[in-house]
Amino acid sequence: MIYSKITGTGSYTPERVLTNRDLEKIVDTDDAWIRSRTGIQQRHVRAEGQTTSDLALVACQRALAAANLTPADVDLIVVATTTPDMVFPSTACLLQDKLGVTNGTPAFDIQAVCTGFVYALSMADKFVRGGSARCALVVGAETFTNLLDWSDRNTCVLFGDGAGAVVLQPSKTPGIYSTHLHADGRHANMLSVPGAFCAGQANGSPTVKMDGGAVFKFAVKVLDQVCREALEANGLQIADVDWLVPHQANIRIIESTGQKLGIDAGRVVVTVDRHGNTSAASIPLALDLAVRDGRIQPGHKVLLAGVGGGFTWGSALISM
């Protein structure tokens, strides 16, 4: 049996930090409200001219270095993003060029908003298990602040920019035990950017619209469900899991999910305070930070769980 295993992680956040106090000067909000309702203290914002593939590039270079590999080893690139550099080519193709991968390696984007990284990991897992790839780069990268209306306090305080990447390689031992993906398009209007380009014009709105309360309830329900699905599929209990790395949208969603699952708060990786919600980047960013600060160790079982626009949700149970 061949599994796919994460052999390196990397991440990157732009240098520019936007604190809650900075936001107080832009929109009618305050630091205490944002902290108490979301747990967010700051977020990173891309530099002028910096694109999603630029952020992804640094995260990938760091992940490859951690795996002792070079771009020449890469034979699959999957980028999860909601904020591509352009309509086409895909951000994955642009990233391939920036990385200097010139061997015709397949590269494509996946759009599942905040569940994007779990979807991308699941796709790459199938390529590696099936023998079609031996060194896959899986990236979640976003310049999500491009989609914000900075006069809408309901949404602009929540999101930030960043990128996280992992290298997946074949292994005789797990590896990724299983992935579980779901979607329900009936909830499209709960969280969306309801705009598109047509004849040189933006039709609809180019910024995020959200029913925060409905998103909150839906997220807590499906994160719990999809984590339990992963545990049941592998005959495991939550006590068998060393770390939960959930999508970083809101500390109250993370805490409620942890409580429903019955996992100790000390075994839940939290970065939402530093990064805000970086959509597809949030899970690999959190994973990389916990690997680099030594919390996640080789052999640890880690449960990844995401939820986002679509609506989409999914989980991955892995051994590092």
Binding residues for ligand COA restricted to 129-158, rule: CB under 6 A: 153-154, 157-158
Smaller CB distance to ligand COA: residue 153 or 187? Answer: 153
Query: How far are the Cα atoms of 206, 233, 271, 308 from residue 182, in angstroms, in the given order?
Result: 26, 15, 24, 11
Smaller CB distance to ligand COA: residue 138 or 249? Answer: 249
Instruction: Considering only the stretches 7-15, 52-60, 173-181, 206-214, report the one whose residues sit in contact with ligand COA under the rule CB under 6 A.
Output: 206-214
State phi, psi for 284 to the nearest 5 degrees. -65, -30
- Nearest approach in angstroms of CB 61 to ligand COA is 27
- Find tokens 């909150």 and name the residue: 216
277 included as an active-site residue = yes
**Residue 283-302 contact track with ligand COA, rule CB under 6 A, x = bound:** --------------------
Binding residues for ligand COA restricted to 77-116, rule: CB under 6 A: 114
247 included as an active-site residue = yes
State phi, psi for 257 to the nearest 5 degrees. -65, -45
Binding residues for ligand COA restricted to 221-250, rule: CB under 6 A: 249-250
Closest CA to 155 of 142, 166, 146, 163: 146
Instruction: Considering only the stretches 31-39, 58-66, 135-143, 182-190, report the one whose residues sit in contact with ligand COA under the rule CB under 6 A.
Output: 31-39
Binding residues for ligand COA restricted to 36-55, rule: CB under 6 A: 37-38
Count of residues binding ligand COA (CB under 6 A)? 23
In the set 20, 60, 93, 114, the catalytic residue is: 114
In the set 20, 93, 180, 277, the catalytic residue is: 277
State phi, psi for 109 to the nearest 5 degrees. -100, 155
Q: Which residues pair with 319 in a beta bridge?
A: 301
**Residue 60 in contact with ligand COA, rule: CB under 6 A:** no
- Residues in Cβ contact with 170 at an 8 Å cutoff, skipping those fewer than 6 apart: 2, 3, 4, 5, 128, 129, 131, 134
114 included as an active-site residue = yes
Angle separating helix axes 52-66 and 282-292, nearest 10 degrees: 30
- Are the beta carbons of 44 and 161 closer than 8 angstroms? yes
Annotated active-site positions, please? 114, 247, 277
